Amino acid sequence: MDVDADGLEDFENVARYDTVRVEAFSDAVFAVAMTVLAVELLPPEHQPGDLLHALLDQWPAYASFLASFLYVGVMWMNHHATFTRIRRMDRGLRFANLGILLWTVLIPFPTAVMADTLQERNLADSRAAVALYALIGALMCASWLVFFHYLTSRPHMAEEDVPDRFFHAERTRAWVGVALYCVAGVLGTAADPLVALAIFVALPVFYAVTSEGLLEMRWAGERTRRK
Amino acid sequence: MDVDADGLEDFENVARYDTVRVEAFSDAVFAVAMTVLAVELLPPEHQPGDLLHALLDQWPAYASFLASFLYVGVMWMNHHATFTRIRRMDRGLRFANLGILLWTVLIPFPTAVMADTLQERNLADSRAAVALYALIGALMCASWLVFFHYLTSRPHMAEEDVPDRFFHAERTRAWVGVALYCVAGVLGTAADPLVALAIFVALPVFYAVTSEGLLEMRWAGERTRRK
Amino acid sequence: MDVDADGLEDFENVARYDTVRVEAFSDAVFAVAMTVLAVELLPPEHQPGDLLHALLDQWPAYASFLASFLYVGVMWMNHHATFTRIRRMDRGLRFANLGILLWTVLIPFPTAVMADTLQERNLADSRAAVALYALIGALMCASWLVFFHYLTSRPHMAEEDVPDRFFHAERTRAWVGVALYCVAGVLGTAADPLVALAIFVALPVFYAVTSEGLLEMRWAGERTRRK
Amino acid sequence: MDVDADGLEDFENVARYDTVRVEAFSDAVFAVAMTVLAVELLPPEHQPGDLLHALLDQWPAYASFLASFLYVGVMWMNHHATFTRIRRMDRGLRFANLGILLWTVLIPFPTAVMADTLQERNLADSRAAVALYALIGALMCASWLVFFHYLTSRPHMAEEDVPDRFFHAERTRAWVGVALYCVAGVLGTAADPLVALAIFVALPVFYAVTSEGLLEMRWAGERTRRK
């Protein structure tokens, strides 16, 4: 049990533990969710001699897999970047983390629904499927919002050298994610569901290029230019 | 091999190891069980154009998933809170831990049975399904009872600063869990199975708010008030 | 990279690493295999109102699950007990470890075959199923034999305080396992397949009570009596 | 956060972390992918009394499993051997690692397609299946190529005692892998698909015997001869 040297320790030594086990547990969940996504890619049913076309015809399943693999992969990167800046866990933060994991393990469900449905090319069903995916995607971002909100209101839980603005910037990123998944859902139900699928593949790229935090990017960019 | 400095060490250095590997292994089991629960959410069979209703109709599957996800999540938190208070493992405690893992990996089975059955709305089947879930839920709590019983009778295995009452309080919590899952099972089979489902979702909340131990909560509360 | 202080180090510092990552990787495989066993327990097909009987009728699936869960659990305990006595890994030992993992991940396959078949009560099929299970079970023990053989012929890879007889005793245990799974297979195919199932549930108990090694048990017993 | 003592540290302490969490996460993905391969071995459908023949008839499923298990196992060994030579991670290397994991989790898909198809003995379908497997196998090697290319152009990320030639030699191995999977795919589609299957089982052996790097093998060989 890691006890800090400030005046809070004897109250906190029971309720607060280091972050290591939470990271390891979350890593396992991310890893399993990622692998499970691929398990849902099944050999397609086909007429004898027609496997090649059957494989090509299920391209929406590959695109859905890719969108979700990238999403979970990038969530893992964010988790990693965030936890290097956290010094202490408490029960509230463990619950906020469990919220993130809840939507992470759920990702394979809308992915499978979307993969199944987009192959059948029924417009009403396709719209329902992309709306479901957008909903889970937005709730995933919202769970990060809760996590960062909890952290920003408890600055003593962060590492000392992390600027206050860092977690505020992270909240902005999470809000942008919620908004973009909602936009994708609306576009997908109002217009072409395949547009939503394209956005779902593209969105993790936004999170990927900003995976060290919006602030850090700008800062790192400045330093690179200064060199 | 971590050898203690008291007189027991040369006898015990073969039979006792640190707790790290047991925690890591248990974490992996909890993480996989959690992810597997979501894998059992399948795209519903439906008429073309009727996906949305089919998705909404399987709400008992979502409620069952949520009950089990929370249960496993809270078991993980309890495991974490407990292991920070354990100094040593021996073979008996590893077996008691394996007992907890047995019921953890089994949770997806009654969850899937309940999810399937509650959608079909056959009363006899629904009662059988909630009874099965209550049985596994109660046995999970009972396996914690065994674990804590083993620990309380071997105080030298706990960290030195853990008050004796801690593990006794934990046993009380486990007894309460056994009792409540039995009550839910009886209510679900004698009255409405959906009542049992509601209790199954609510029960992990009881464990969650007491995840640091009943004693610690009171103690922490006193100290908070004193400040 | 952990470099030993003896004369071999500059040759060996590339080829030998510490055992930590191998243990963590193996733990993950054991944990996933254990969880996957339970995933193969599916809600039984049944007539409306007949779920309870359908659940009871698939008792061979529960017994098969229990046999395999205990087997994998005990293999994990043996792995743990063995690795605390290993100081170094080399490529050969990593391959021998991969051999153990090969049969570990395969265990769910004969378990599912046996669970399916014993419910159908066709004698020829039941015999084939228990023979398959006995084969995989025996090969699992044989892979431990290879592992211990590799270790006993390279005493410098073990921790210094491990008596030479330890790994020899472990080889004896592995031989006993090979023999007993073969006996169970022969009894199951020549006589009643359910006898084989009973042995499969009982066999891990043999490994469990000797999980610290036959030698250590005797040694610990002597010391306990002497006290 | 592990900060190096050279002049780059204050720029790099945000963007670069130690390699531990990346290794642990990758290990979990390798472990789950490995176990999932075996989950796809299902009890064969059969006439009552005909289980034994049905089990024997699905030998292509066993061979496909073995090819993929060995491939993933050897990828894990390579990952291990490579990461002991890496001192630092940055975002680019984490993405390159995610690329390796992408093809790792995908391996069960072509394995299942190949296992299903080779049993049906339709020549056109079998050719499509081995071509798909060869494609994914080659892309896996290509993702290692990207990883090593990234590393060789950033020598400060490697451990100091790793000769420059090491990562160049690794790139050569990856190129050989890409080429051999392509050759297997061409042979399998132009000639007999079972030839491709045989190559798929044999190829990981090439990677296994060179798992410490081509360079290291030669070097170790020289030293062994010199002794």
Q: What is the mean pLDDT of residues B16-25?
A: 75
What distances in angstroms separate CA C54 from CA B108, B120, C50, C120, D186, one per listed residue?
Answer: 18, 16, 6, 13, 50
User: How many inter-chain contacts (A to B, CB under 8 Å) are there?
Assistant: 89
pLDDT of D58 reads 92
pLDDT of B84 reads 82
- Enter the tokens of residue C5: 């202080």
pLDDT of A151 reads 86
Closest partner residue to D125 among A27, A30, A51, by Cβ? A51
Q: What is the mean pLDDT of residues A13-33?
A: 77
Mutate to test the interface with D, among A45, A51, A85, A101 (most CBs of D within 10 A): A51
Q: Closest approach of chain D CAs to the CA of C121, in angstroms?
A: 9
Q: What is the mean pLDDT of residues C146-167?
A: 81
Does A69 have pLDDT greater than 50? yes
Q: Which residues of D touch C130 (CB under 8 A)?
A: none
Does C7 have pLDDT greater than 70? no
Catalogue the long-range contacts made by C3-10 (C-beta closer than 8 Å, 24 or more residues apart). Answer: C4/C88, C8/C156
Instruction: Encode A32-67: b = buried (16+ Cβ within 10 Å), e = exposed.
Output: bbbbbbbbbbebbebeeebbbebbeebebbebbbbb
pLDDT of D109 reads 96
Altogether, the residues listed in chain C come to a count of 227
Tell whether A48 is within 8 A of chain D (Cβ): yes
Q: What is the mean pLDDT of residues C189-210?
A: 87
Q: pLDDT by residue (tens digit) across C53-105?
A: 999 999 999 999 999 999 999 999 889 888 888 888 888 888 999 999 999 99
pLDDT of B212 reads 56
Q: What is the mean pLDDT of residues A88-114?
A: 92
Tell whether B55 is within 8 A of chain A (Cβ): yes
Mean pLDDT lowest among A63-67, B95-99, B220-224: B220-224
What distances in angstroms separate CA B114 from CA A225, B108, B201, C110, one per listed residue?
Answer: 60, 10, 13, 27
Rounded to the nearest angstrom, the gap between the alpha carbon of residue D13 and the centroid of all alpha carbons in its chain is 31
pLDDT of A212 reads 55
Does A99 have pLDDT greater than 90? yes
ipTM rounded to 2 decimals: 0.84
Q: Residue type for A2, please?
A: D
Mean pLDDT lowest among A124-138, A207-221, B111-125, D149-163: A207-221
Mean per-residue pLDDT over chain B, rounded: 82
Question: By the 8 A CB rule, do C41 and C62 touch?
Answer: yes
Q: What is the mean pLDDT of residues B92-120?
A: 93
**SS3 sequence, chain D?**
CCCCCCCCHHHHHHHCCCCHHHHHHHHHHHHHHHHHHHHCCCCCCCCCCCHHHHHHHCHHHHHHHHHHHHHHHHHHHHHHHHHCCECCCCHHHHHHHHHHHHHHHHCHHHHHHHHHHHHHCCHHHHHHHHHHHHHHHHHHHHHHHHHHHHHHCCHHHECCCCCCHHHHHHHHHHHHHHHHHHHHHHHHHHCCHHHHHHHHHHHHHHHHHCCCCHHHHHHHHHHHHHC
pLDDT of D163 reads 75
CB contact under 8 A, A125 and B41: no
Q: Residue type for D116, please?
A: D
Question: By the 8 A CB rule, do D132 and D110 touch?
Answer: yes
pLDDT of C70 reads 94
Half-sphere exposure of D110 (CA within 13 A, CB side): 28
Tell whether C25 is within 8 A of chain B (Cβ): no
A197 CB-contact burial (10 Å; exposed 0-12 / middle 13-18 / buried 19+):
buried
Average pLDDT, consecutive stretches of 10 residues, N- to C-terminus, chain D (227 residues): 38 50 90 92 91 93 95 91 83 91 96 91 92 96 93 80 77 89 93 92 81 49 37
- Enter the tokens of residue B68: 């089990």
pLDDT of C159 reads 77
Q: How far apart are CA C119 and CA C111, in angstroms?
A: 13
Q: How far apart are CA C56 and CA C54, in angstroms?
A: 5
Q: What is the mean pLDDT of residues C110-127?
A: 91
- Enter the tokens of residue C41: 């327990």
By C-alpha distance, which of C47, D107, C27, A100 is closest to B101? C27
Tell whether A188 is within 8 A of chain B (Cβ): no
Q: How far apart are CA B58 and CA C144, in angstroms?
A: 46
Does A73 have pLDDT greater than 50? yes
Does A219 have pLDDT greater than 80? no
Closest partner residue to A128 among B37, B55, B208, by Cβ? B55
Mean pLDDT lowest among A217-221, B42-46, C171-175, D201-205: A217-221
Q: How far apart are CA B60 and CA C39, in angstroms?
A: 19
Mean per-residue pLDDT over chain C, rounded: 82
* Chains touching chain C, criterion 3+ CB pairs below 8 Å: B, D
Tell whether B28 is within 8 A of chain C (Cβ): yes
Tell whether B102 is within 8 A of chain C (Cβ): yes
Tell whether B20 is within 8 A of chain C (Cβ): no
pLDDT of C211 reads 58
Q: Residue type for C177, please?
A: G
- Is A132 or A84 the better-scoring residue by pLDDT? A132
Please give the DSSP secondary-structure letter assigned to residue B162: S
Q: How far apart are CA D42 and CA D56, in angstroms?
A: 13
Q: pLDDT by residue (tens digit) across C16-57?
A: 356 778 888 999 999 999 999 998 898 999 999 899 999 999
Mean per-residue pLDDT over chain A, rounded: 82
Q: How far apart are CA C114 and CA D43, in angstroms?
A: 9
Q: Closest approach of chain A CAs to the CA of D198, in angstroms?
A: 21
pLDDT of A211 reads 58
Tell whether C198 is within 8 A of chain D (Cβ): no
Q: pLDDT by residue (tens digit) across B171-213?
A: 888 898 899 999 999 999 998 899 999 999 998 887 777 655 5
